[in-house]
C-alpha cells in the first residue's frame, strides 16, 4: 500500500483552479501527494480583465496562446500537474434576450463527448478524489454548469467497464466534492474582521447579494493558510484575468490567515465511509490508497 494519494480538480477555464481550492491543492502537493488539474476549455473567449493589460496588442493578437502560458506558470506556482481537455470556451452570454452560444463551444458539445474525454483522463490518472463545481456551476457560467455535468457523469462512467471501453481500464474514484470557496460565512467573517481593524471590506455588495441566496452545505474544511502565498502567486500568473491591485488582493493576508485559514468543500458522493464534518479531502482513504 502506498501513502501517496491522487487528487483531480476539474475546472472550466484557466484561472479557475487558482481561485477555487488552490491552497488546498498546494498543501497536498507539499505533503507528497499528486494533484492534477483538468481544464475543460482554453479560455479563448475570455476578456482581458486586468486594466493594466487591456490594450496590450501582443495579448490581443493571440489570447489562447497567452492563456496557455499563464496556466503553465500557475501550475508551476502550485506544484500541480495539468492537462487540457481540449474544448472551446463558450463565452459568457450577456444581454436581454441572451444571445445564442457560439457553434462548436464546450457547452453545446453532446454530453458524451466531453464525458468520454474526462473518463480517459480519470482512468489514466486514477484519482482517489475529484473536485468540481456544484449544479449551479458555482455561478451560472455555461461552461461551469457544463463542467459540473461532465464531472458527475464521468465520476460514474469511469467506474463502469461497459462505458467507454476504449478509454482505458475502469477506475472507481472514491469521493467527489464541490468547491464552496465563497460561502456567506467566509465573506462575513472576513468583512467583520476588516471592519474591526478599521479597514474597508471589498465584500459589502457581495454580502447583500449572498444573503438572499440559499447557502451550500459545507462538509469539509481544509486548513491551508500556509499555502495562501502559493495561491496568490498562481492567481497573479493569470495576469489577463486578475488585477494584482484588485478584488482578490484587497484582504490583508494576516487577517485572512487569522479568521479564515481554511478552504471549504461540499462532499457530493462517497464510495467509502465518512464522518462529517471532515478536515481532509482524503479522509477515509489514507490507509486505503493503492
pLDDT exceeds cutoff 70 at 109: yes
Residue 128 annotated as binding site? no
**pLDDT tens across 30-59, in order?**
999 999 999 999 999 888 889 989 888 888
Question: In order of start, what are the domains of the chain with their CATH numbers?
Answer: 6-180+217-270 (3.40.50.10320), 183-215 (no CATH)
Kindly state the DSSP code that residue 80 receives in the 8-state scheme.
-
Instruction: Write down the mean pLDDT value for the chain.
Output: 94
Q: Which residues are CB-neighbours of 65 under 8 A, at least 6 positions away?
A: none
Question: Rounded CA gap, 27 and 33, in Å?
Answer: 9
Kindly state the DSSP code that residue 278 receives in the 8-state scheme.
B
**pLDDT tens across 123-179, in order?**
999 999 999 999 998 888 999 999 999 999 999 999 999 999 999 999 999 999 999
Question: Rounded CA gap, 203 and 104, in Å?
Answer: 36
| Radius of gyration for the alpha carbons in the chain, expressed in angstroms and rounded | 19
Burial degree of 20 (CB within 10 A; 0-12, 13-18, 19+):
buried
Q: What is the mean pLDDT of residues 61-89?
A: 96
Q: What is the pLDDT of residue 57?
A: 84
Label the pairing between strands 34-41 and 81-87.
parallel
**Cβ count within 10 A of residue 95:** 6
**pLDDT tens across 195-214, in order?**
999 999 999 888 888 878 88
**97 preceded by a cis bond (ω within 30 of 0):** yes
pLDDT exceeds cutoff 70 at 1: no
Residue 16 annotated as binding site? yes
Residue 144 annotated as binding site? yes
Label the pairing between strands 175-179 and 129-132.
parallel
Q: What is the pLDDT of residue 288?
A: 58
176 bridge partner residues: 130, 269
Cell numbers placing 54 = 487591456
37 bridge partner residues: 9, 82
Residue 231: pLDDT band with limits 50, 70, 90? very high
Cell numbers placing 35 = 494533484
Amino acid at each position: 500500500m502506498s501513502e501517496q494519494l491522487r487528487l483531480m480538480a476539474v475546472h472550466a477555464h484557466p484561472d479557475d483552479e487558482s481561485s477555487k481550492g488552490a491552497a488546498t491543492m498546494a498543501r497536498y502537493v507539499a505533503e507528497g501527494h499528486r494533484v492534477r488539474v483538468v481544464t475543460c476549455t482554453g479560455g479563448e473567449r475570455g476578456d482581458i480583465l486586468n486594466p493594466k493589460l487591456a490594450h496590450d496588442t501582443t495579448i490581443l493578437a493571440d489570447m489562447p496562446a497567452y492563456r496557455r502560458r499563464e496556466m503553465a506558470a500557475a501550475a508551476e506556482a502550485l506544484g500541480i500537474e495539468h492537462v487540457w481537455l481540449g474544448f472551446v470556451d463558450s463565452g459568457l452570454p450577456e444581454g436581454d434576450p441572451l444571445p445564442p452560444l457560439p457553434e462548436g463551444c464546450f457547452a453545446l458539445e453532446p454530453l458524451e463527448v466531453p464525458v468520454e474525454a474526462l473518463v480517459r483522463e480519470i482512468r489514466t490518472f486514477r484519482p482517489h478524489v475529484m473536485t468540481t463545481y456544484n449544479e449551479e456551476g458555482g455561478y451560472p457560467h455555461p461552461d461551469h454548469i457544463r463542467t459540473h455535468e461532465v464531472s458527475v457523469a464521468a465520476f460514474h462512467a469511469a467506474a463502469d467497464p461497459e462505458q467507454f471501453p476504449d478509454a482505458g481500464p475502469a477506475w472507481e474514484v472514491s469521493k467527489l466534492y464541490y468547491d464552496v470557496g465563497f460561502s456567506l460565512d467566509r465573506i462575513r467573517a472576513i468583512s467583520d474582521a476588516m471592519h474591526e481593524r478599521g479597514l474597508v471590506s471589498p465584500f459589502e455588495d457581495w454580502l447583500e447579494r449572498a444573503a438572499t441566496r440559499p447557502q451550500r452545505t459545507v462538509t469539509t474544511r481544509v486548513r491551508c493558510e500556509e499555502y495562501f502565498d502559493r495561491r496568490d502567486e498562481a492567481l497573479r500568473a493569470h495576469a489577463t484575468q486578475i488585477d494584482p491591485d484588485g478584488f482578490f488582493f484587497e484582504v490583508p493576508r494576516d487577517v485572512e490567515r487569522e479568521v479564515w485559514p481554511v478552504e471549504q468543500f461540499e462532499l457530493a458522493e462517497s464510495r467509502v465511509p465518512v464522518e462529517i464534518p471532515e478536515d481532509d479531502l482524503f479522509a477515509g482513504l489514507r490507509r486505503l490508497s493503492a
